Homo-oligomer: A and B are copies of this chain.
Amino acid sequence: MYTKGRSRHFIYTDWILIETQFDPEQLHSKETVFTIGNGYLGTRGCFEEGYPHALPATFIHGVYDDVPVVYTELVNCPDWLPLIVIVNGDRFRLDQGEILRYDRQLDLRQGLLGRSLRWRSPSGNTIDIGFERFASLADPHVLALRCHLTPVDFDGLIEVQASINGYPENQGFNHWEGLDQGKTDQGIWLQRRTRSSRIELCVAAKVTISGTEASLQVSTAPGYPTLSTTFLGKAQQTVTVEKLVTVFTSREVETPVLAAQEKLAHLPDYATLLKANEQAWDEVWQQSDILIEGDSTATFAVRYNLFQLLIAAPRHDDRVSIPAKTLSGFGYRGHIFWDTEIFMLPMFLFTQPAIACNLLSYRWHTLPGAQRKAAHYGYKGAMFAWESAVTGDEVTPRWALESNFYGEDVRIWCRDREIHINADIPYAIWNYWQATGDDDWMQKVGAEVILDAAIFWGSRVEFNPERERYEIRGVIGADEYHELVHNNAFTNRMAQWHLEKAIAVYDWLTDKFPERATELEQKLKLTSQERSHWQDIVAKILFLYDPSTELIEQFEGFFQSEDIDLADYEPRDRSMQAILGVDRINKYQVIKQPDILMLLYLMRESADFPYSEKALQTNWDYYAPRTDITYGSSLGPAVHAILASDLSKSIEAYELFIRALMVDLEDNRGNTSDGIHGASAGGIWQAVIFGFGGIQLTENGPVANPHLPPGWTRLKFKLHWRGKWHDFDLHQGLGIGHGALGMGHGELGMGHGELGMGHGEKDTTEITNAQFPIPNSQSSNIQGFIFDLDGVLTDTAELHYLGWKKLADEEGIPFDREANEALRGVSRRASLMLILGDRPYAEAQIQEMMERKNRYYVELIQNMTPQDLLPGAIALLDELRQAGIKIGIGSASKNAQTVIERLGIADKIDAIADGYSVQEPKPAPDLFLYAAKQLGIEPEQSVVVEDAAAGVEAALAAGMWAVGLGPVERVGAAHVVLPSLEGITWADLREQLSHVSRQKR
């Protein structure tokens, strides 16, 4: 069950993330979450006006510079965001004055970040401020920012300062030295150069103002060029400031200053740039979108994870790759790990193959560094860096240094020992080749990497004559809790697999491209003896495996090390390594992340040894409970989700999936501030496609064997396979999968995970018990039911739509049912903002419109009839009354009375708690306690039926039984979770509730 509550101010629509309240406590994690980018750069979602301790950052691919301890880091580039508004002398800033209204929105469809605020200055002037920005996907060197300013209750002087900040920081360090700066007819520019790597950069900016008469001044504080203007703002009149920015570095052009000035001079206006950006995003989503229905959080959150990968992926550059934390944070200093090839790459491979090609070509460019590393350690060929940057030399820090005066520094051994990456990269290259059939790239680029990396293994393995086996000693496997092990099964098998493929590639090259084969033989000193050596290793490498049970030993002696029950350490909020210590954990059978299971996953696709269903079951049973899946590596949950799905553990699979899915949106590891978990995002794609979608890659192309999670009614996506697109449109329970276009799939049978009561019951109960208290009573004591109204007994969504539609028509704004989809679960104000879009309205007008829409809605309620009751509602109400159970309503609506009357159920209801009853809204328990009191029953005798997370929380807080309607991720905290009331009987419910109480007694 994932951690709740960290992001209670988030609303997810299908495409838009809405933050409804600003929480300074979450400043840094939200900066990460609201990152935008365009494959050239990424910009954290910091405020244009700044905030104390904010961590603004713009990272450009390939712009690294030297730094102590970790050698090199991705450089924070000059900040293009600063836009300061001074209202009658008061600088607009969220830590002063009063925030009267706030929402921040990230629209994934077009990579558009917006913020809408009403702010009252310390001097008492109220102003509406709207910001919007994007990094153009249509032109990677273009950034745009727009600001609307509307004084609400005053006329007064407003000053706007739009700057380029040449003092960006990497944890306090400024990598830039000033070269020059200046102004042109177009605006301002700033030229800087990195201190050591000497990459030159120019950022240029111009500003236009509309809605008032104002002239621009240039000020030239060193490193802080600024365009500023002062105008007389008038109440209810909107002034718009557009800041357009261009950026180039010497990695792309010879003279960034000229390029940035030139481009700035020819930029069209904001609206035109926005349109081009939207079109570019349309094309991207055309290929990479995943549509999920029936689970609105997943609908958005899956797209969110894809979005974060898409904005971080190099679209125009094959000498860079995606850092572990993408281009969104300072974590791991922008270094590149196996995360890219093993976790992130598949999404690109199957939906954006050109980007996949860039990512893999990056490794080819780093071969010289990998060769230097091999030579340093006394090996041959290419030994890829565990952490890689520009050159491919090893940049993993040697030390985790103590800041305590007398603490001990901790040696980091991954640089020396975590060598499985040398097979992981070839694994990805091979898969790229299989999926694309890109022979030309393979012979020119891919083959060299596979072969040179294979030569490393030839020099790295040791032959043990006693065992007559090749061994690989002194490594760290995928599981990093064990820092010095021998014959790690993951490493040994991946090396063996790699050498098998290297031989195949060598033979293929010799056959199809003999000249290239000869060339590489000379360049890499590759001989037939080496090929024979590889064959010998493949045949004789040690693999610790019991054929009878198919249980694999993670490394030599693992089974002898001390066993541990992770449950004994619950509840916990940190990793087992943090609890036991770096040294001690080496001695235990507790692992950071899947290692044997990771191997099985990687071998799963082609069912390569040792993958089998039995092996999976056996090793899952052994290793899964020993894996620190909650606070170990974030690389774990998505992979475990796929394997759990394979093992028909639908609920567990979904829970693991949600853990990965929400890792950043809910900051459930507490380190989102360091940047997006790129590998987890990549794992999400794999979990949806390979896990729930059950995609298998056959010679005839991809085939689906879906295992949709509970609640998912539809899963739609596209895969590219050997030059063709394959569409999948999978539906829950219908047993229908649309085959690839132009290819013959049969109908795909429905797999596991259907949400029937019989199946779902036990699992649901189990997770419930693990988390929430059981009311102090037997379920047989139940005396009353309290129903939420909207979403439980009826659904007012249609009425809301009609209300908005009427309003929109009156305002002449296009609005239809499709547009209405974006408003699900969105507050009244936020909904109106979405409808109004860019149109500038004064706050007073907005207030009036909100009231108008509510009037229409109340009018519509008058037209409700018993037909508007949801399926199963009337039957259950009647059954309960017959059983002598009391019935109450617990609804926050102020229209509850009216609705109940119109629905014709007033005579079935014993008490109503509504929007007038209590002060504190859900999730406070007050409303339900009020209802129970009205019904004359005790909380532990009450059952609450709810469809919202806050409602379930309120019921639990009240000490009542909770029945949740909807997906587990929303109402999973309830004692019983149901899709809806349809077909539900009092007998069913009583049975399930008694099961819950028995389990715990």
Contacts and interface: CB of A to CB of B under 8 A. Distances in A.
What 3 A-B pairs come out closest when comparing CB atoms?
A: A221-B224, A221-B221, A393-B405
Interface stretch (A109-117, A165-173, A336-344): A165-173
Contacts of A161: 220-221
Residue among A221, A376, A409 with most chain B CB within 10 A: A221
Given A177-B53, A221-B221, A409 B398 contact: yes
Contacts of A409: 398-399
Contacts of A636: none
A73 to B, nearest CB: 12
A394 interface: yes
A174 to B, nearest CB: 6
A488 to B, nearest CB: 24
A165 B221 CA distance: 9
A226 interface: yes
Interface residues of A, number: 43
Contact of A69 (B52, B68, B169, B224): B68
30 contacts: A66-B403, A68-B69, A68-B403, A69-B69, A71-B403, A161-B220, A161-B221, A165-B222, A167-B174, A167-B223, A169-B174, A172-B174, A172-B175, A172-B195, A173-B173, A219-B219, A219-B226, A219-B228, A221-B226, A222-B224, A224-B224, A372-B406, A373-B405, A376-B405, A376-B406, A393-B405, A393-B406, A398-B401, A398-B409, A399-B399
Contacts of A228: 219
A50 interface: yes
A395 interface: yes
A165 to B, nearest CB: 7
Contacts of A376: 405-406
Interface string A155-183: 00000010101010100111101110000
A384 to B, nearest CB: 13
A82 interface: yes
Contacts of A174: 167, 169, 172-174
Q: How many copies does the complex hold?
A: 2
Given A177-B53, A222-B50, A223-B167, A405 B395 contact: yes
A726 B286 CA distance: 92
A370 to B, nearest CB: 12
Residue among A53, A69, A172, A376 with most chain B CB within 10 A: A172
B401 A221 contact: no
A123 to B, nearest CB: 15
Interface string A175-207: 101110000000000000001000000000000
Contacts of A195: 172
A82 B220 CA distance: 13
A406 B167 contact: no
Contacts of A66: 403
Interface string A78-94: 00001010000000000
A84 B195 CA distance: 24
Given A52-B177, A172-B195, 4 more contacts: A50-B222, A167-B223, A221-B224, A221-B226
Nearest to A228: B219
Interface in A200-237: 219-224, 226, 228
Given A169-B174, A174-B174, A222-B165, A372 B405 contact: yes
A588 to B, nearest CB: 29
Contacts of A68: 68-69, 401, 403
Contacts of A395: 405
A188 B228 CA distance: 19
A223 B403 CA distance: 28
Contacts of A178: 52
A203 to B, nearest CB: 15
Contacts of A165: 222
A161 B224 CA distance: 13
A172 B172 CA distance: 8
A222 to B, nearest CB: 7
A190 to B, nearest CB: 12
A179 to B, nearest CB: 8
B219 A69 contact: no
A222 B82 contact: yes
A221 B166 CA distance: 11
Contacts of A169: 174
Contacts of A52: 177-179
A216 to B, nearest CB: 14
A372 B165 CA distance: 43
Nearest to A82: B222
Interface string A480-509: 000000000000000000000000000000
A364 to B, nearest CB: 19
